[in-house]
Amino acid sequence: MESTLLPSPKSPLQESRKVVLWLCAGHKGAVPQTEQKIALWMDQLRRMREMQYAYHKKFFHGLCLFLVLVIGCLLWDSSVSLALVPLLVITAGTQSCFYLHFVDFARIHARFVEGRLNQALGKSTLVGSEIEDLYFYPVDAPKIGGFVPSTPLRFFSFFTFHWVVLWLALAALALWRLLPMMGACGTQYLILIGLWSGLNFAYLAWFFGNLKDAKSMSEYLKKVG
């Protein structure tokens, strides 16, 4: 039996570039300069889609890595390893949001490039960004990490909720086993964990809820476009 090779993420964009250039060549008023611009825009779009794909991979690999580390610490069952679990859980959440903000950057830039290509062609040839907003989550919508309050029933929000519950359960299990070992130091440790988790949550809620940087980027792209 012959094995079927799966297309790389570059292949669809390379084919799209050929189609767009063909449409441009047949479009009335198309000039070589326009074709050069479209070639540059398609290259930018390819780079943003590759970036989006790469950080999706990093996101899932990071989840698996932190999950293995947390389970390893729980199985080791020493006071040091158990004390690391809540810190690993907090870092896993912040690290996941770090990858998410790169994905959002790539989506916003890709949407801008698609808009310029559609303007050049005089038609809605590229609709990837609109479909992503409808199927995954609106990139301009305020959210808390990956949870979007305006679309709480979307799978992306549920996926985020699932992992938050799992991380909290693992952290609670570690604390339940750790605190009897710590004695009087347990209170200070809980205060430290509470402050650190509260600081991380407050910043992530502010960053993804306020969308200040995303709005600044969108406004700049509109200005230069």
* 65 is a domain residue: yes
Burial-class residue 86 by CB neighbours within 10 Å (0-12, 13-18, 19+). Answer: buried
**Cβ(146)–Cβ(160) below 8 Å:** yes
pLDDT (mean) for 180-191: 93
| Listed range (13-17, 55-59, 120-124) with the worst mean pLDDT | 13-17
* 161 is a domain residue: yes
* 24 is a domain residue: no
pLDDT at 37: 85
pLDDT higher than 80, residue 25: no
* 4 is a domain residue: no
* 143 is a domain residue: yes
pLDDT (mean) for 73-82: 95
pLDDT at 18: 53
pLDDT (mean) for 104-122: 92
pTM of the model as a whole? 0.81
What does pLDDT average to over the chain?
Answer: 87
pLDDT at 223: 87
The pair of structure tokens assigned to 21 is: 């250039």
Report the number of distinct structural domains present in the chain.
1
Q: How many residues does the chain have?
A: 225
Q: Using pLDDT thresholds of 50, 70 and 90, give the confidence band for residue 197.
A: very high
Give the residue from 44, 47, 43 showing the smallest Cα distance to 55: 47
* 57 is a domain residue: yes
Domain that residue 116 falls in: 30-224
Percentage of residues of the chain with pLDDT beyond 70: 85
Amino acid occupying residue 104: D
Q: Using pLDDT thresholds of 50, 70 and 90, give the confidence band for residue 4.
A: very low
* 8 is a domain residue: no
Q: Distance between CA 37 and CA 219 in Å, rounded?
A: 21
